[in-house]
Amino acid sequence: MKIIVISILSIFFSLILADHHILANGYIAYSKLTDGYWQIYIRDIETGKEAQLTFSKTDKRKPVWWQPQKKLVFKTNLGAIDSVKIHGGAERAFLPNLKDISTPVFSPDFKKMIYAKYRFDPVDDSDLWQVNVDGSDKTLLTGGPGTQYDASWSPDGKQVVYVSRETKGVHNIYVIDLATGEKRRLTENQNYNVSPAWSPDGKKIVYSSNVGGSYDIWLMNSDGESQKRLTTSPGLEINPTWSPDGKLIAFTRFNNNRLEIWTVDPGTGQVKPLIQEETDCRDPVWF
């Protein structure tokens, strides 16, 4: 039975790969709670058809698209990074020598990766590191006290936006110039500002913030100016991700006592449901 399922998935996704335009604009990956574990799924946005890609009894979260290998890379609850092909197959370890890491993101050319590395001491919680995708040239990107996480590469590959916890309860968004190491703070408040993501044209950054009392989706220019709230739901709204054409933002919303995936138009503010299941779905990523 398992061989038949994998064969069907292979045929299904080979048809997807035949049209790169469809692949880039019509499919979304996400984590879905299945039989007590977070598993990685992929969905055809137009038809609503989905396929489960992972099955092992561990939690998998925050999938990211590894385009050259036609794979999704994700973090596990074991502090590791694994991968799976988008047409199905076995789950594989990705850079298995890296331990206690989270939230990996690839550079625009997919030659490098940035990840958060946890430290278990009272001085620092986590730092951001940069590494080649073959595991070589590991370099500390942001250090010092506090927690650095949720990195997102600019489309030109020259800057990285990320979150830094400055004091208890205060998480602000920074950007670092990779050539000079210069850091700039983009948000300046005493709240949680998290999950920043650069727009495909490099002009905007979307993020989640609880400035208004609950976590909503916010938008600002890439220099931190013109910050505005896009959503106003009383429930939790986090993990925004841009569509490849920059016309929509998908995000996780707590609604009807479960996690769902919605979209918002950054121009009009129109909000619509995208994935509403009888179980929790979260961490969307377009590819």
Q: How many distinct structural domains can be found in the chain?
A: 1
Q: What is the pLDDT of residue 15?
A: 43
For residue 88, is it within any domain? Answer: yes
Confidence band (pLDDT; 50, 70, 90) for 14? very low
Summary mean pLDDT of the chain: 89
Q: What is the mean pLDDT of residues 148-175?
A: 93
Please provide the DSSP assignment of 123-179 as one string. SEEEEEEEEETTS-S-EEEE-SSEEEEEEEE-TTSSEEEEEEEEETTEEEEEEEETT
Percent of the chain with pLDDT over 70: 90
For residue 12, is it within any domain? Answer: yes
Evaluated on CA atoms 237, 116, 146, 228, the torsion sign reads negative
Residues 103-130 have pLDDT tens digits of 789 999 999 999 998 876 655 688 999 9
Is the pLDDT reported for residue 141 higher than 50? yes
Is the pLDDT reported for residue 148 higher than 90? yes
Listed range (10-24, 100-114, 158-172) with the worst mean pLDDT = 10-24
Residues 20-77 have pLDDT tens digits of 433 445 899 999 999 999 999 999 998 999 999 999 999 999 999 999 999 999 999 9
Q: What is the pLDDT of residue 20?
A: 41
Q: Which residue in 250, 257, 221 sits closest to 236, CA to CA? A: 257
For residue 200, is it within any domain? Answer: no
For residue 122, is it within any domain? Answer: no
Q: What is the pLDDT of residue 13?
A: 46
For residue 189, is it within any domain? Answer: no
Q: Where are the alpha helices (DSSP H) in the chain?
A: 2-17, 20-26
For residue 35, is it within any domain? Answer: yes
Q: What is the pLDDT of residue 144?
A: 75
Q: What is the pLDDT of residue 106?
A: 96
For residue 198, is it within any domain? Answer: no
Identify which has the larger pLDDT, 125 or 244.
Answer: 244
- For 74, the domain range is 1-94
For residue 101, is it within any domain? Answer: no
Q: What is the pLDDT of residue 3?
A: 45
